[in-house]
A = this chain, B = another copy of it.
Amino acid sequence: MAVNYTLPTPESLLPVAGVTLGYAKAHVRKPDRKDMLVIALEPGSLAAGVFTQNRFCAAPVLVCREHLKHGSDMRALVINTGCANAGTGDRGLADARATCAEVGKTLGVAPHQVLPFSTGVILEHLPMERILAGIPQCKANLTATGWFDAAHAIMTTDTVPKGASRQIDIHGHKITVTGISKGAGMIEPNMATMLGFIATDAVVGDDVLQDMVRAAADVSFNAITVDGDTSTNDSLILMATGKAGNPPINGEGTAEYAKLQDAVNEVAIALAQAIVRDGEGATKFMTVRVEGGKTREECLKIGKAIANSPLVKTAFFASDPNLGRILAAIGYAGVADLDTEKLKMYLGAVLVAENGGRAASYKEELGAAVMKESEILVRVELGRGVEHATVWTCDFSYDYVKINADYRS
């Protein structure tokens, strides 16, 4: 069960004007479960996305990139679980295109106005007959209040549905931002993918969404790690229907832009943290904050080295203040001119290390008390600049191995 996680409710996921959602039980991999989703957007909607950097990116990722280049009038997203359509060569591409064509035909829009997403087993082909049969089912139950069911329809080994909403006011216009995500690892057990979908009814200029989704990804999905494995299908999409009636938001640097970006970031961070809280086998949620760096990149490097170390993660699982492991991870993170004499490391409020070694005030029982918590802050002060970065991760338990070793047995 996810660590300290508040389940979304049908009421907590607010409709976004111009967006309807419909699911199907298409039996992609397992019978009688919600496993397909169509998100329909009213005419004039914009969408932008960021995608996996994995060279083995999946067929739907390639098709998404292609369709997003086509232009701005995006009308639908189609998502299936159970099969990632990754490592599937030319046939995989043809299947992703055929899915878009069928959704287009069903909704009366062009195929390139449809974005496809898949999550599930790598190296297997989509069961196209069942996928195509699912599309009219999705259409039949399209509804503006469908976010809660949608959050369920994109789950694979997730133990909880993930969704969040925020509302802001811009010049008297109420603007809603709602998103859903899935993932219980950067790669889940044989189920490859993190997916995130965020929609707003704000009116925004053509170029705004791409900047906004990239900025949101950097502080949310790009700041989490469960096992350091980057999936073949990771996708985060930001959509804007323009139905809120606000004066258009254009370009960075305005108060309105900042307000919308903040709301999008908040939803993205909530969705990303939900993935870590639901991380495979997770029993604890850790925030690793690295401060005082020369660049944000070096802070992120050190944060990720700590958050990805199996030794650090098993120590957290054991509630064992074996904190030399964190120093070792800082040391091998790849910051070549790091001065370990200047560095300070804190566990919660407890100073653990300074001047290249154990702090004089540190006592094991102080560390042990912090390690017993289920929410733990590791803070590193590098003492060489003003940049910082935050990474969220979970611990590494027997159940991680169990989930990843046993799933097909």
CB <8 Å contact, B401 and A331: no
CB <8 Å contact, B311 and A404: yes
CB <8 Å contact, B88 and A357: yes
A54 within 8 A of B: yes
CB closest chain-B residue, reference A331 = B56
Q: Which residues of B contact A230 (CB under 8 A)?
A: 328, 331-332
Q: List 27 A-B contacts (CB under 8 A).
A: A55-B331, A55-B332, A55-B335, A55-B338, A56-B328, A56-B340, A87-B324, A89-B356, A122-B327, A124-B358, A187-B328, A189-B311, A227-B309, A228-B308, A230-B328, A232-B328, A232-B331, A314-B401, A315-B404, A315-B405, A317-B405, A318-B405, A320-B407, A322-B408, A396-B401, A398-B398, A400-B401
Pick the residue among B228, B324, B356 that contacts A121 (CB under 8 A).
B324
Q: A409 to B392, alpha carbons, bound, how many Å? A: 27
CB <8 Å contact, B397 and A401: yes
CB <8 Å contact, A324 and B86: yes
The count of chain A contact residues (Cβ–Cβ below 8 Å) is 68
Q: Which residues of B contact A92 (CB under 8 A)?
A: 357
Q: A405 to B328, alpha carbons, bound, how many Å? A: 17
Copies of this protein in the assembly total: 2
Q: List A59-92 residues whose CB lies under 8 Å from chain B.
A: 84, 86-92
Q: A320 to B323, alpha carbons, bound, how many Å? A: 34
Q: A335 to B358, alpha carbons, bound, how many Å? A: 39
CB <8 Å contact, A358 and B87: yes
A373 within 8 A of B: no
A329 within 8 A of B: yes
A190 within 8 A of B: yes
- Say yes or no: A55-B311 contact (C-beta < 8 A), given A322-B408, A328-B192, A328-B229: no
A383 within 8 A of B: no
Q: Which residues of B contact A328 (CB under 8 A)?
A: 54, 56, 86, 122, 187, 192, 229-232
CB <8 Å contact, A229 and B404: no
A402 within 8 A of B: yes
Besides the contacts A55-B338, A320-B408, what 17 more A-B pairs have beta carbons closer than 8 Å? A54-B331, A56-B327, A56-B330, A56-B331, A86-B328, A87-B324, A88-B358, A89-B356, A121-B324, A122-B324, A229-B328, A229-B332, A230-B328, A318-B404, A318-B405, A320-B407, A400-B401
Q: Which residues of B contact A258 (CB under 8 A)?
A: none
> Nearest 10 A-B pairs (CB), nearest first?
A122-B324, A56-B331, A89-B357, A318-B405, A314-B404, A54-B331, A230-B332, A55-B331, A123-B324, A55-B338
- Say yes or no: A123-B398 contact (C-beta < 8 A), given A227-B311, A340-B56: no
A106 within 8 A of B: no
- Say yes or no: A122-B325 contact (C-beta < 8 A), given A309-B229, A311-B227: yes
A57 within 8 A of B: yes
CB closest chain-B residue, reference A345 = B87
Q: Which residues of B contact A406 (CB under 8 A)?
A: 318
CB closest chain-B residue, reference A319 = B405
Q: Which of A56, A192, A329, A356 has the most CB of B within 10 A?
A: A56
Q: Which residues of B contact A311 (CB under 8 A)?
A: 185, 187, 189, 227, 229, 404
